[in-house]
Structure 1
Amino acid sequence: MTRTVLRGARWPGDVAMADGRIVAVGSVPAADGDVVVDCSGDLLTPGLVNTHHHFYQWLTRGWAVDSTLFGWLQTLYPVWARLSPEDVEAAAAVALAELALSGCTTAADHHYLVPGGDDSVFDAIAAAARLVGIRTHVARGSMDLGESRGGLPPDSVVEDLDAILASTEAVHARLHDGETLFVTAAPCSPFSVSQRLMRESADLARRLGIRLHTHLAETLDEERDSLARFGKRPVELLDDLGWIDSDVWVAHGIHLSDREVQRLAEARTGVAHCPSSNSRLGAGIARVRDLVDAGAPVGLGVDGVASNEIGTLQPELRMALFLARQRAGDPTAFGPADALALGTSGGAACLGRTDIGRLEVGLRADVVVWPGDDVADVLDPLAALVLGPERSARHVYVGGVPVVADGHLVGADLASLRADLTRRARRLWPDSSTPGG
C-alpha cells in the first residue's frame, strides 16, 4: 500500500493517505515507499464543504446590486431563461474551479431553472464536476408555480409538475453514483412551487433514498408571502408538507423563532448558512449560534455569485464568525474553531455525510493544505486561517487524488474556463456599456 504523507504541517501535524482514505494523523513515521509532500509550516484541514450554491449564476455577477431578494429574482429570471446547457456547463466549470482553489472538496449545487424542461443541463453540471474533480451534490431543482397562479417567477420559466418528477427520477438514474456525484430533489422555494410538488418530491426522494433541499426563511418578504397565502410561517408550512426531517437541509434559515430553531434541531434538519449573500441582499443575520447550540446541523454556503460575487468558500469562514459575533454583540460568541466546524463537519452533516468533514483515520482523504508562510507569525493557527488574509489552497486532495497542486488546478485551465465564461456572460448584458440592473 503506497501512502502519500503530508508532513511537517504546523497544525494539526502529519496526515497520511492511501487508497482514498486517511490512514494516519499526527506524527507519522516514515515508511518505505511513502510519497512525501513537504508541508512545513503549512496548515491542514479537512476539505471544505459548500452546502448551497447556484453554479449557473457565475454568468450574471454584478446584476441588481441594490435589490432585495424578490426584486433581484424578478430582474434575473428572464436573463437566466436564456441560458443554454452549454452556458451552464461553462459557469459550473468556473464555479467548481474557484471552489477547489478555495479549499472546497464537496459542493452542493441547487439548479432550479430548466427552460423548456431540458434536463440535459444536469448532465452539463456533472461534466463540469468531473473536469474539476471535486465531489458534487447536484440538486434537481424545480419551479412549477408561475405568476399566473400566484408565484413569483414568470410563467415562461416554470415546468409541468409531472414532468419535474419524471425528470428528477431520470436524472438520479443517469448521474447518481454515490461516490463523486449525488443527486437530490430540490423544489426551489415556497413562493415558486406548489404544495403538491413539495409533497410529491418528498415522496419520490424517500422512495429513491436521496436527500431533499429547498430555500427557507431567507427574507421577511418570504415570511409575509407565506402568511398571506397559507396563513402559516415558512417553517410551519414546510413541516405540514413533511419537509422538516433528518433527510432535509434548507438554505438560509434566517428568520426563525425560538420554537422553530428547536423544531429544526429536534428533527435534525440542516441549515446552509450563506453569510455573504445574506449580507449583500440585506436579508438578515442567521441565528447560527442558537441553531448549533440547539443541535441542528449547520454548514456554510457560498450561494450564487449573482448575490456573492466572490464565489469562493474560504472567505465565508471569516464572514460567518463576524456575523455571529455581531448578532450576539459578544466576541466570545463564536470562535475560529466554530467557523471551521461550519465549513467542514457541519457541512458534511447537512449533506448526510459521515465519511467527510474531519481529519480522522478511515474517512475519505479529502484534505486541504493551506500555505502558512505569510502567517507564520500568527499565534493561533486557526485564527491565521479564519481571520488572516484571504488565501487560496496550496494543495487540495479529493479521495487522496490531487485536484489542486501548488496553487493550480490539476485537471483544468482556469484562464481558458474564465475566457469562455466571459464571452458567454457578456452576451447577456443589455448593451455593451451597461452591465446590469
Structure 2
Amino acid sequence: MASSAAPDSPVRQRIVIENCAIATVDGEDTEYTAGHVVVADQVIESVGAGPAPEALANVVRRVDGTGHLLTPGLVNTHHHFYQWITRGLATDHNLFNWLVALYPTWARIDEEMLAAATRGSLAMMVRGGVTTASDHHYVFPDGAGDLVGAELRAAAEVGARITLARGSMDRSEKDGGLPPDFAVETTEGALLATEEALDRYHDASFGSKVHIAVAPCSPFSVSTELLRQGAELARRKGVRLHTHGSETVEEEKFCHELFGMGPTDYFRSTGWLGEDVWMAHCVHMTDEDVTAFAATGTGVAHCPSSNARLAAGIARVPDMLRAGVPVGLGVDGTASNESGELHTELRNALLVNRLGPHREAALTARQALRLGTLGGARVLGREAELGSVEVGKLADLVLWKLDGLGHSTIADPVAALVFGAAAPVTLSLVGGEPVVERGRLTGVDEDEVARAARTQARRLARIAAGG
C-alpha cells in the first residue's frame, strides 16, 4: 500500500517511476518486487506497490522501470578529489611510504588542477549512482588560489550534493610529522581559513547541496592544538568534524610513541569523539575502541578497497555494526582506489569483511546496501533528508538496470546489485533533477572532463618533476 504526504504548497511538477523493484532501505527494510515512487518537486511524495495512480496532476515524466531496481542514491563518506590527477603512482607502498612519496607532488596543486580533479572524481562517482559525496581536502599550498571555491564550483557543475571537509595540516617533517615543511599551514592560518569556508559556504537548510565540515587531516600530520581548537570551532559553528583514524599499525605505533596512548584515547583527549564526528578507515580498533565509538555515536567511513590497496588491514565492520557504531562507505582518494567508484565498494565491503573472523556471517547484501545509503547519510548527519526511499525525504534516487547480460539470471535484485557486476545507471536524480540519463552525465561532457583531467595530471607531473 502506498504511503503519501500532502505537500505544503502546490506541486509544480511530478516525476513517476513505476514497474520497478524497490529497496527502500527504511527502518523495516521494506521492499517491493514491482512498485512505484512519485517525486513531487525535490521530495518523495509517495512510494508503494504496483503502479502509481493515473490521476496525478502536473506529471512531467513517467519512467517505466521494468527490469530495474530503484534504491536511494549512494552516499560517499570519504574521498580526496584532488588525487584524481595522481592515480597509478606508488602502487606497492604502505600508507606512510605512499604519503611520503606523494606529498611533494600533492603540495603543488593549484585551483585549475583541483577543479579538473573534482570534475573527474565526482563524474566517475555520480555516473555510478552517487548522489552525495564527502571530500576531505587538506592540501593548501601558498599561492594555489581559491581551492575551496574551485572545488565547490566544479561540484555544482556535476550536480551532486557535497560535504566538503575543509582539512588542514600543521605538523610537518621538522615537527615529527610526514608532510614536507612547505606542504603545511600554520595552526592559526588553518583555523582562520576553515572558519572563513564555514561562514561563506556552509548551508544547513533542508535540501542543501553544500555542507562544510572541520577536518584536520590525521594524528601524524596535525598538532594537538589544531585538533583541540578545530573541535571547538566546529561545535561553536554547529558543524561536523572529520579526520583519519586508526588506519594502520604504523599510525598506532606513532600515537603511542608521540602521545603515550593509542589513537582512540588520543582523540578522546582532544574532544574528537561524539555524534558530530566521523573518522575514515578505523581499521585497527580494539574492543575498547569500538565500545567508545558506539557509546559516543562517533561514525566511521569504511574504505575497503583503499584499505586493501595500502595493505592497511580489514576493518571490524561487523563488530562495529553490532555495537551500534554508525558506519558508511567511502571510496577514499583515487591515488589509493584508482576505480573511483562507490557502487563497487558495496561488493568489496561484503567480500573483504567475509575474509575476517565472521566469515560468511560478516555482512549480507542488504547490509552492504544500507552501508552505502542510509549508513552514509547517518555518518554525514543527513539521515533525516537522505539515504532511504521514504515520503518527505529528498528525491535522491537511482534506477539500476538489472535485466542485461551482467545481471539477468540473478533473481534477487539486491543480490544482483551487490554481488554482480557494476550495474548500469539508467536514471539518477538529485532532488528530483536528473544527473544521469541512460548511463551518461547530464551536467558535464564526460569526454571533456577526461581531457581536462589528463591535461592537469600531466601539468602537475611536470611541475613536480621540476619542469
Same topology, TM > 0.5:
yes
Q: Please show how residues 119-268 of structure 1 align to structure 2 within 5 Å.
A: 120-178=146-204, 179-268=208-297
- Aligned counterpart for 1:6 among listed residues 4, 12, 17: 17
Moved more, 1-10 or 228-237: 1-10
Q: Please show how residues 410-425 of structure 1 align to structure 2 within 5 Å.
A: 410-425=442-457
Change (3 A) 1:117 1:182: farther
Equivalent position SS for 2:356: helix
Q: Does 1:30 align with 2:59?
A: no
1:31 partner letter = A
Identify the residue that residue 92 of structure 2 maps to in structure 1: 66
User: CA shift at 1:394, angstroms?
Assistant: 1.3
| Contact in 1 for aligned 2:68/2:401 (Cα 8 Å) | yes
Moved more, 118-127 or 216-225: 118-127
User: CA shift at 1:428, angstroms?
Assistant: 3.4
| Contact in 1 for aligned 2:347/2:368 (Cα 8 Å) | yes
Moved more, 4-13 or 216-225: 4-13
1:330 partner letter = R
| Contact in 2 for aligned 1:186/1:214 (Cα 8 Å) | yes
User: CA shift at 1:118, angstroms?
Assistant: 5.0
User: CA shift at 1:376, angstroms?
Assistant: 3.0
- Percent same amino acid at aligned positions? 49
| Alignment length (residue pairs) | 433
Identify the residue that residue 29 of structure 2 maps to in structure 1: none
2:401 partner letter = P
1:300 partner letter = L
Q: Please show how residues 211-360 of structure 1 align to structure 2 within 5 Å.
A: 211-353=240-382, 354-360=384-390
Change (3 A) 1:174 1:117: farther
Identify the residue that residue 21 of structure 1 maps to in structure 2: 43
1:387 partner letter = F
Distance 2:359 2:411 in 1: 22
Q: Structure 2 length normalisation: TM-score? A: 0.91
Distance 1:392 1:424 in 2: 28
User: CA shift at 1:381, angstroms?
Assistant: 1.0
Q: For residues 245-300 of structure 1, what are the alpha-carbon distances to aligned partners after superposition, in whole Å with 9 as ceiling and x for unaligned?
A: 11000000000000110110110000000000000000000000000110010000
Distance 1:25 1:119 in 2: 46
Distance 2:261 2:223 in 1: 15
CA-atom RMSD in angstroms? 1.5
| Contact in 2 for aligned 1:119/1:171 (Cα 8 Å) | no
- Aligned counterpart for 2:67 among listed residues 41, 44, 51: 41
2:455 partner letter = R
2:16 partner letter = V
Q: For residues 23-59 of structure 1, what are the alpha-carbon distances to aligned partners after superposition, in whole Å with 9 as ceiling and x for unaligned?
A: 1111322224422111112000000000000000001
**Structure 2: runs of 5 or more not aligned:** 1-10, 23-31
| Contact in 2 for aligned 1:144/1:161 (Cα 8 Å) | yes
Q: Report runs of 4+ in structure 1 exceeding 3 Å deviation.
A: 428-431
Distance 1:167 1:428 in 2: 24
Distance 2:42 2:358 in 1: 43
Moved more, 233-242 or 418-427: 418-427
Change (3 A) 1:427 1:117: closer
Identify the residue that residue 400 of structure 2 maps to in structure 1: 370
Distance 2:81 2:366 in 1: 28
Moved more, 172-181 or 243-252: 172-181
| Contact in 1 for aligned 2:218/2:245 (Cα 8 Å) | yes
Identify the residue that residue 86 of structure 1 maps to in structure 2: 112
User: CA shift at 1:81, angstroms?
Assistant: 1.1
1:30 partner letter = E
User: CA shift at 1:331, angstroms?
Assistant: 1.3
